[in-house]
Structure 1
Amino acid sequence: MVHKIKLIQSDTVSDISNICGNINLTTSVDTLGASFNFSVARNINDSNYVVTETIKNGDIIKFQNDSTSENIFTGIIIDTTTNRFSKDIKCLDFYFYLNNNKVIKQFNELNASACIEDLLKSIGAEIGTIENIATSIDKIYKNRTVAEIIEDILKIVNEETGKKYILEIDETTFSLVPHKKIKVEVENNIFGMPVLNESIINMKNVVLVVSNDQEEESIYAEVKDSEGIKKYGMLQEIIEVDPDKDDISKVRNIASQKLSELNRVNTKVTLPVLGNDELKAGRTLEIEIKEFDIKDEFLIKSCTHTFKKGHHICNLELEVS
């Protein structure tokens, strides 16, 4: 087996690769973090399977590429189902703690980087590189998870600057980095039948920026695509900002960035390829799909790796970025 599964229980590390099967690893930009599922063979009458009975929720799992020693996944077991001859294991990476800790936070004109670092420290997360982002955050968050708050902060950054950042995890360490592109050869590894979907369900060709004060009706900025309106009809989005926004250029930039993001036909492709450990949600690929005469830059929306009988297959859900 090219990949190894290691079980960590306190100071004890066990290689359980030889008794594992039905392995899949999934990442998605919608859920944040990675999930890792597998099954372990079970036989209470055979000493070779004693370790299966010891596996419990809270144990740590590492999934590694044995040939490169690269760590692919590190996470915590959050769910176990025991059958007569197997035990099904569900794991989540350490985003689990960001998604399951609600906090109360007030940020007073604090830059985005400092806000995110403060949030990570509040739940005892290990912190790596934090990219310097000057965007000022002045907001109160109540009864929101750490992951939801970070997602909102990065949304504000994107609206004001047009730049995208992601919070990546390496084993147990979180780093805030610019959205990255990767070069992975997939064109020659495509098999099966790609599926193309094109939709205008989420298209917007008019964007208004208004106050989030319910008693104020002022429109701070408006941008539109007249040709798009003629073709598709008017599809309007409203963005709410603090009423004390006095930087007109910033407000207009927010409107322009949002129009640029939403004013398009959404193109998605489902694509099966030979497995590659570098493929994960949130990264971008430049690929050509000859069946659809498409050559473009795609965001990986979700990615599921399946490891079975020595084969590594990857199913990608892509969206033109």
Structure 2
Amino acid sequence: MTVIDKAVKWAVEIAGDDTHQYNQDVRWGTHYDCSSFVISAYEQAGVPVKTKGATYTGDMKEVFLNCGFKDVTDSINLSDGTGLQIGDVLINENGRGTSGNGHAALVQRNGGMTVEARSTAYGIVSDVAYRNYPWDCVLRYPGGSSEAYTANWVEREVPNIGKSLATKAYMAYQAYTNKEADGYSLLWGNNASTASGGLRKYKDFLCMAFGSYYGADGTFLKIEFDDGKTIYAVKADEKKDSETDSLHMYHEHPFDRNVTEFVVDQSIVTGNDKFTSALEAAGISRSARVTRIWTSDTEPTVGGLGTTNSDEKEYHFADTNEKLPIHPRIFAQIPIKPTGDIYVLANGKDISRYVCDISWTNTKQSLATIFNFSVPKADGMKYINMYTPKEGDIFRYSGAKGEYFRGVVTEIDDGDTKVNKYVAVDAGWYLNECTDTYQFVNMRADECLKKICNDLHIPIIQICELSTLITQVYVDKPISDVINDILSKCGNVYNFDFVPEGIRFYKCTDMSAEPKFRISSNTELKDSVKFMGNISHKKSLGGMRNSVKVITDTDVITTLKDKDSIDEYGFLQEVVKINDGEDAETVARRKLDELNQIAESGSGEIIEELDSYTRAGYTIHIGEGHYIIKSSQHSVKNGVHYNKIDLERVII
């Protein structure tokens, strides 16, 4: 139980026990007056305000501040109590109290309802409606209704879904019956309990459900609301990916979008009103919007009088990452010379004559290219000296004019009676699978990428200039996620991929694809795009933003709007938080240019030459527009190269 929970619980229990009375002479046990009541509530909760010298309303403020409380008077509307949170201390210092020494009260619920030793006439009472005494100051113990918890907090993105950030859903823990699932022990184990209002808890952490973006079950979260409240939770259940947005950050339903879903005891929370009461009992306002979310893979520890800022810990991860080759052989192969035909090697052995079912896929979102092929079983090819590929073999594919793919065999399906089926992946797979910790402080994005590649002995074949300064800590993240995040901070039009010789970082609009094919060997080349089949095309305002507000932790720095777009389509704003050293105007302009457009996407199927490779991340010209290739799915059948491409319109 937290400090504020203990203080308020003690005060409410005293108020409900008739053996305790309001008394100015006997005021430090069994009976209390207004100030000794509030002082005693926090003293027994572990904050030594009495020990440090608080005795009456005239000295409470100074002592409470010295014990870590904050003066939040300026953020409160004293006329109606708006902004008050559970645990706040209200003080009148100047002679309005019964003893002539002012008055004090403890906020019992958000919004200002109090528990207090009110007077001889009223006694010690709870559930007192808010009134402005008038109060001279409002003091707040740090961390909202929870003690500050220290952890390796990593701030995560909060979706831009407007007022839906205030929507709070709930589910019953009794419905969670899968004993094999990770969340079961959090909800049913020895450390699970139900709070007095009905919310389910694991130790002192609220049990909640989140989308997969916020980590696996067992991830700890710190959630900040726009009324200043901060709560600490553990992810005990996961919202289904099929029911969330594309990034799996929030429940996607036109009438019930929500990020936060609380786990409750259905024997107590029997309806919506009871759920509101359960939230209020935990000091959570039903109307407060989520503003920031942090996650931690390890259980937080109580940090005493710590803060709730994202820099609660000083990180020491700079240059602590591993410095080993990502693969010992993949970049050391002798280049394949053009042969004019398909040429395939496995472990240096030519398997071109009998390899079949060739196909491969790459997407802009996923770094690795995945290559599928099959080889007949050796006992069915008696007159051919065959090599049967094995796990870990280097697999190479050349499409007539040079090597297009180099990777490692990672999967073998030998269940078929006639062929073995294989999956090979390029070096990007290793960056998806390998996690590490990186810390960059005010470093150019291109220098960050060079460091990552140099540490892993990855040759850089191409890198564009990326001057955006990066200040970020990445804790236990896939290396591909680190690279993706760095590029995203530079804008949404950058990509990276692997070619046989190494890695490339480039601006998509600088890489143009012009696929061509021949109807027969003796005819001229045709433009593949003009003969595209199975075409789909759509437009959408979803994701469009015509206003960008740039903020820091504490201030609004600048706002950039497109008035014409707002007049035509309505007001759609994105809020972007920047780090120290970033130029707000540059960030705002880049973000507005990126988002201020109607989303246009499509797909189609083309045929291209065997020596042609139209891949994800490139830009292709169709009609009057330019499109980034989001994914490409290649296959070679009877010597014909097919490619299904998914597209997204880009303004150049």
Q: What band does the TM-score fall into relative to the shorter chain?
A: 0.7 to 0.9
Q: Name which structure has the greater RCO, CA cutoff 8 Å, separation 6+.
A: 1
Q: Is the 8 A contact 1:29 1:281 kept in 2?
A: yes
Q: Which residue of 2 aligns with 1:175?
A: 504
Question: Are residues 1:63 and 2:393 paired?
Answer: no
Compared CA separation, residues 314 and 130, structure 1 to 2 (3 A)? closer
Q: Is the 8 A contact 1:94 1:172 kept in 2?
A: no
Distance 2:558 2:409 in 1: 48
Q: Which residue of 1 aligns with 2:628?
A: 299
Distance 2:556 2:505 in 1: 34
Q: Is the 8 A contact 1:42 1:49 kept in 2?
A: no
Q: CA deviation at 1:22?
A: 1.8
Distance 1:145 1:132 in 2: 24
Alignment of 1:153-172 (within 5 A): 153-158=486-491, 164-172=493-501
Distance 1:110 1:192 in 2: 46
AA matched with 2:476: N
Q: CA deviation at 1:50?
A: 6.6
SS of 2:490's partner is helix
Compared CA separation, residues 177 and 226, structure 1 to 2 (3 A)? closer
1:47 counterpart (379, 382, 388):
382
Compared CA separation, residues 185 and 42, structure 1 to 2 (3 A)? closer
1:233 counterpart (559, 570, 577):
570
Q: Is the 8 A contact 2:496 2:503 kept in 1?
A: yes
Structure with the largest fraction of strand: 1
Question: Are residues 1:98 and 2:431 paired?
Answer: yes
Q: Which residue of 1 aligns with 2:536?
A: 195
Q: Deviations over 1:228-261 (max 9, x none)?
A: 334433322221112x35x6xx212211211221
Q: Which residue of 2 aligns with 1:78?
A: 410
2:560 counterpart (223, 227, 232):
223
Q: Deviations over 1:239-297 (max 9, x none)?
A: 1112x35x6xx212211211221121111121211124231111112222xxxxxx211
Distance 1:79 1:114 in 2: 35
Q: Deviations over 1:130-153 (max 9, x none)?
A: 444333222211111221111111
AA matched with 2:548: V
Q: CA deviation at 1:112?
A: 1.9
Q: Deviations over 1:23-58 (max 9, x none)?
A: 112121011231111121225254356746x42221
Which runs of no fewer than 5 residues in structure 2 stay unpaired?
A: 1-339, 517-525
Q: Deviations over 1:138-181 (max 9, x none)?
A: 2211111221111111222238xxxx543342214123344423
Question: Are residues 1:113 and 2:446 paired?
Answer: yes
Distance 1:256 1:314 in 2: 36
Compared CA separation, residues 165 and 233, structure 1 to 2 (3 A)? closer
Compared CA separation, residues 201 and 133, structure 1 to 2 (3 A)? closer
Q: CA deviation at 1:311?
A: 1.4
Tell me whether 146-155 or 189-198 shows the greater mean CA deviation.
189-198
TM-score normalized by the length of structure 1: 0.83
SS of 1:30's partner is coil
1:268 counterpart (601, 622, 628):
601
Compared CA separation, residues 121 and 49, structure 1 to 2 (3 A)? farther
Q: Is the 8 A contact 2:342 2:397 kept in 1?
A: yes
Q: Is the 8 A contact 2:443 2:471 kept in 1?
A: yes
Distance 2:494 2:600 in 1: 22
User: Highest Rg: 1 or 2?
Assistant: 2
Q: Deviations over 1:192-246 (max 9, x none)?
A: 33111212222222222122x3xx3x2222122333334433322221112x35x
Compared CA separation, residues 302 and 145, structure 1 to 2 (3 A)? same
Distance 1:183 1:176 in 2: 16
